[in-house]
Amino acid sequence: MKPGVLVIGHGSRDERWVERVEETVRGVRKSLPGVPVACGYLELVDGRLIQDGIDRLEAEGVTDLLAIPLFVSEGSTHVDEIGWALGAYAEPRRPTDLERYRVESRLTYGRPIGDDPEIVDALLDKLAASGLSEEPAREGLLLIGHGSEEAWFYEKWRSGLEGLAARMKQRGGFADATAALLRPDEAADRVRAMRSGSGTELRVLAVPVFVSEGYFTSEVIPKRLAGLGCRYAEGALIPHPKVADWVVRQAKEWLAKLRAECKEGEQVGEN
């Protein structure tokens, strides 16, 4: 048995976007000595696509592969189609243009970010560094994610972001916290609801929950927030080191399970 880890990102033509992902993966490698770790992208990064990453790891002799989708939510349609293309399940939840990847190793499909504690830490650090929060007891958090128009995917987006919001409210002592999606456009309604429930003097701090900076964080969200009187903590999750910690924790949990299965198999063989 030789385990390996593949971190899967969306990909971008912007090399700075790719470098932020690669920096995160370098942090993962440092924390998993002896375990091959590669990065693969869904699209737009020639020579470093998902199949390229699989091939590199299997060329190193990897027999057991953990593929971790570096995406915010289980509600991402990309998370669903990539899982199907890797062979993690029989059918995708929606049509996809992807074809099945070639995977010779025994594959485990990991989980996207969701509301895991490392991401709470990363978002709170990001908010603190922005200097926008002055008196949490009089502030409301508005987490903003991409979202989906399709019911199942929408619910997964909402539940994950609301979980993050609840954890951040508790940890940071904020007066209120909720989530808004870009698809459908919910920002204005969520801001009005928070202010009507907590008073018009509530300061709303808008925090984007995106893996990396780009068009949505720099253009779409500011336009959606225009005129709402929110303070916007621009930026994204990577390359915050807590994101690498999140990958490492998931990998270590998987490695422990693999070792337990291997030990159990050896004991059965001896008997």
Q: Based on the fold, state whether residues 30 and 77 are members of the same structural domain.
A: yes
Q: Which residue range forms the structural domain that includes residue 124?
A: 117-232
Cβ atoms within 10 A of the Cβ of 5, count?
Answer: 29
Q: Is the pLDDT of residue 2 over 90?
A: yes
Same domain for 94 and 52: yes
35, HSE (Cβ side, Cα atoms, 13 Å): 24
pLDDT at 200: 62
- Domain shared by 84 and 184, yes or no: no
User: What are residue 145's DSSP bridge partners?
Assistant: 181
Q: Is 31 helix (H, G, I), strand (E, B) or coil?
A: helix
Q: What is the pLDDT of residues 172-190, one digit of tens each?
A: 999 999 999 999 999 999 9
Structure tokens that stand for 131 in this block: 């200097």
Measured CA to CA, the distance from residue 59 to residue 54 in angstroms comes to 8
The CA distances from residue 75 to 4, 51, 65, 122, 216, in Å, are: 26, 23, 23, 21, 17
Q: Based on the structure, what is the number of domains in the chain?
A: 2
Contacts within 8 Å (CB) and 24+ apart, 129-132: 130/233, 130/234, 130/235, 132/205, 132/231, 132/232, 132/233
- Within this chain, do residues 40 and 59 fall inside the same structural domain, yes or no? yes
Strand ranges of the sheet holding 37-41, from the earlier edge strand across to the other edge: 37-41, 3-9, 64-69, 106-109
H helices of the chain, where?
15-31, 50-59, 77-86, 117-130, 151-172, 187-198, 215, 221-225, 241-270
Q: How far apart are CA 213 and CA 197, in angstroms?
A: 32
CA-CA distance, 171 to 65, in Å (whole number)?
A: 35
Question: With bands split at pLDDT 50, 70 and 90, how would you rate the model's confidence at 271?
Answer: low
Total-model pTM: 0.93
- E strands in the chain: 3-9, 37-41, 64-69, 106-109, 139-147, 176-183, 203-208, 231-232
Q: What order of strands is seen across the sheet that includes strand 176-183? A: 176-183, 139-147, 203-208, 231-232
Query: What average pLDDT does range 53-60 have in this prediction?
Result: 98
Percent of the chain with pLDDT over 90: 92
151 and 83 fall within a common domain = no
Beta bridge partners of 9: 41
Could you report the per-residue pLDDT of 67-117, keeping only the tens digit for each? 999 999 999 999 999 999 999 999 999 999 999 999 999 999 999 999 999
Taking only the tens place, the pLDDT of each residue in 191-218 is 999 988 766 689 999 999 999 999 999 9
| 139 pLDDT above the threshold of 90 | yes
Q: 158 and 259 share a domain?
A: no
Shared-domain flag, residues 143 and 213: yes
Q: What tokens does 151 get?
A: 């019911």
Same domain, 132 and 72: no
Cβ-contact 103, 54 below 8 angstroms: yes
At CA 82, angle to CA 77 and CA 87, rounded to 5?
Answer: 130
pLDDT tens by residue, 27-40: 999 999 999 999 99
Q: For residue 108, give the CATH number of its domain.
A: 3.40.50.1400
User: C-alpha angle with apex 123: 16 to 208, nearest 5 degrees?
Assistant: 65
122/187 same-domain check: yes
- The CATH number given to whatever domain includes residue 142 is 3.40.50
- For residues 169 and 220, membership in a common domain is answered with yes
Q: 185 with 129, same domain?
A: yes
Res 262: pLDDT: 82
Tell whether 193 and 224 lie within a shared domain: yes
Lowest mean pLDDT among 109-123, 144-158, 205-219, 257-271: 257-271
